[in-house]
Amino acid sequence: MNIPVPASLRRMPLTNQYGKTVDLESWSGKTVLLVPFLTLCQDICPMTTGNLVAAEQSLRADHQASKVQIVELSVDPARDTPARLAAYAKLTGADWQLVTESPAALRVLQKHFGFYYQKVPEDDPDARDWWTGKPLTYDVDHTDNYFVIDAAGVERVLQEAAPDFHGPLNPKLYRFLDALGRQHLKNAPQPDWTPADVLRALAVSVGTPLAASAN
């Protein structure tokens, strides 16, 4: 696919885990791996982040990390403050950009990239926030996607699949998973993706075969 990301969207303000205002244009000249998520996801998102950690480690080993910027984009801006994003990054080992945005900006991003998200009631009365310990009052349903945007700002890859994750999960996040999340940790729903799949997708944009993507 070759879909240009409009300049107005690339310049839309986002706020990262350090409280700094950034935008997609901030990483012009790099391949951007854009991944919608939320820190209070009780199912797939912790495994997604785990696979991204593995993919980034391979990029570093392949001396390609400087060409790629991973960006996890919150679909829960009401709760995903910079402080919460920073706590999630510390918990998961994510050392890339985790960003939140205004609800209006999220709608614009959703419309362009085509991912789905919807606020829904929390159906588990015992569910507690892994960070604050407070009861959860709602959840956000969402599709499991990642998008590869090349250095010129053109969307090159769209993947809609669940992560096939085999690494250890932080105990706090493991306890936070609901029953479906623990089931998906054991057996990823199909279709699925691995860190090697991400590296192959990135190679389309980077233009250089990534050795670890053959694994």
pTM of the full structure: 0.95
pLDDT (tens place) for every residue of the chain, 215 residues total: 999 999 999 999 999 999 999 999 999 999 999 999 999 999 999 999 999 999 999 999 989 999 999 999 999 999 999 999 999 999 999 999 999 999 999 999 999 999 999 999 999 999 999 999 999 999 999 999 999 999 999 999 999 999 999 989 999 999 999 999 999 999 999 999 999 999 999 999 987 766 655 45
pLDDT of 211: 60
Q: How far apart are CA 106 and CA 73, in angstroms?
A: 9
CATH number, span 3-214: 3.40.30.10
Residue 12, both tokens: 């839309």
Q: Domain coordinates of the chain in residue numbers?
A: 3-214
pLDDT of 91: 97
Rounding to the nearest 10 degrees, give the CA dihedral for residues 57, 58, 61, 64.
Answer: -100
Enumerate long-range contacts of 193-200, CB under 8 Å, 24 or more apart: 193/51, 193/146, 193/159, 193/161, 193/162, 193/163, 193/164, 194/51, 194/163, 194/164, 195/51, 195/52, 195/54, 195/55, 195/58, 197/159, 198/33, 198/51, 198/52, 198/55, 198/146, 199/55, 199/58, 199/59
